[in-house]
Amino acid sequence: MADWRWARGLLAGAVAVLAPLLLGCHDSSNNRVEETHSGPRQVELQTHLEWSEGSTQLYAIIGAGWPPSGLQRTSWQEGTNYSIEPRVSIKSVRLLDDGMTLCLTTAEQAPGTRYQVRYTPKVSFPAPPLEGFPQNPVLTAVAVDATHVVVVPDTHHQERVDWADASSYRFEPPLAVHSAQVSADGRLVRLTTAEQEASASYKLRVGGIATPIVR
């Protein structure tokens, strides 16, 4: 009997010592503030390629499938959603028919300056990748004026074409190509053509595949 009373006393003492600790842990768990997330953060989209035409036109390649689904049209047309480095103010933004090229009208640009365009949307979305067409060596072709077309080669297929050879390019309806000038980094080709008809819808055929010309 004495042994039982001793064991019961030992158990009671252990409970007395451990109870505050156990209760403290329980209370601490109940009162813990969980870290919460207010939703996905806004994504800053940086363009893949830019070039200037004249002193107030800036073209930027975003990627296929632009604008992203769920993003209101007014959002990507607002110049206030964009920033340019080095800083220059934006007057208007226009998406060309290829769905991947933006034409930004800006204040006077500094001669010889290379600009970077960034887009910070008001609505969060995953940034789209730059996607070329699997078999087409041309990402897009932009008529920047009546006698010049800027061609953006798909880097996955650059080796298939002699980009500096004017005979590599054929227009439909027919349009003479006088010269093809490849940029120093190989990312752009500027074609000098005969006078383009304003009402004509041209296609550029390179490597047997036709690409609509956008304006």
Of the listed ranges 12-21, 70-79, 84-93, 128-137, the one predicted with least confidence: 12-21
- Cα–Cα distances in Å, from 91 out to 81, 83, 180? 12, 11, 31
Torsion angles phi and psi, residue 140, rounded to 5 = -160, 165
Q: Tell me the pairing of strands 138-145 and 209-214.
A: parallel
What single-letter amino acid sits at 148?
H
Total residues found in the chain within this entry: 215
pTM here is 0.66
Specify the pLDDT at position 25.
Answer: 33
Please report, rounded to a whole number, the percentage of residues in the chain having pLDDT higher than 70: 65
Specify the pLDDT at position 11.
Answer: 44
**Could you read off the pLDDT of 20-53 as tens digits, one per residue?**
333 333 333 232 222 333 343 454 566 778 999 9
Q: Strand, helix or coil at 90?
A: strand
CA dist 30 and 52 (Å) reads 60
**Could you read off the pLDDT of 86-121 as tens digits, one per residue?**
999 999 998 888 878 889 999 999 999 999 888 776
* Structure-model confidence comparison of residues 200 and 133, the more confident one: 200
Label residue 125 by pLDDT band (50, 70, 90). very low
Specify the pLDDT at position 56.
Answer: 94
Q: Where are the beta strands (DSSP E) in the chain?
A: 45-46, 49-53, 57-61, 82-85, 90-95, 101-106, 116-119, 138-145, 148-153, 170-172, 177-182, 189-193, 203-206, 209-214
Label residue 71 by pLDDT band (50, 70, 90). low
Q: Is the pLDDT of residue 151 over 60?
A: yes
**Could you read off the pLDDT of 170-187 as tens digits, one per residue?**
999 999 999 999 999 889
- Cα–Cα distances in Å, from 41 out to 3, 72, 121, 211? 66, 18, 10, 36
Specify the pLDDT at position 45.
Answer: 67
pLDDT (mean) for 134-153: 90
Q: Are 98 and 132 in contact (CB under 8 A)?
A: no
Specify the pLDDT at position 46.
Answer: 66
Give the Cα-Cα-Cα angle 107, 113, 117 (nearest 5 degrees): 65
* Structure-model confidence comparison of residues 69 and 161, the more confident one: 161
Domains of the chain: 45-119 (2.60.40.1220), 138-214 (2.60.40.1220)
